[in-house]
């Protein structure tokens, strides 16, 4: 992804989904906690995000009501050209 014209950032968005396999049939959806970190900093999970030029580490951690947690990490590269 290229940077926004004249800026050192780019406004980006992506898709993120998860499933909780601890739910049973007809059980109301349990609360889950979703944490989004960009370059090691906790941020709001609302998108889009402004990312700086270079490699940005994106990490989600999802924790269910039973304190089971899973994470997903990926890099998003913003080209400075």
Q: How far apart are CA 68 and CA 18, in angstroms?
A: 13
How far lies 37's CA from each of 6, 7, 45, 65, in Å? Answer: 26, 22, 9, 20
* In the chain, where the domains are located: 9-16+30-78
Residue 27 has pLDDT above 60, yes or no: no
Q: What predicted TM-score, i.e. pTM, was given to this entire model? A: 0.81
Model pLDDT, residue 18: 84
pLDDT higher for 31 or 53? 53
pLDDT higher for 17 or 48? 48
Model pLDDT, residue 69: 92
58: nearest Cα among 48, 8, 3: 48
Query: Would you call 74 helix, strand, or coil by DSSP?
Result: strand
């Amino acid at each position: 992804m290229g940077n926004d014209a004249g800026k050192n950032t780019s406004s980006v968005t992506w898709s993120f989904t998860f499933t909780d396999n601890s739910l049973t049939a007809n059980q109301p959806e349990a609360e889950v906690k979703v944490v989004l970190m960009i370059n090691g900093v906790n941020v709001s999970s609302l998108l889009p995000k402004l990312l700086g030029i270079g490699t940005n580490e994106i990490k989600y951690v999802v924790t269910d009501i039973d304190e089971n947690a899973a994470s997903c990490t990926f890099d998003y590269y913003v080209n400075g050209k």
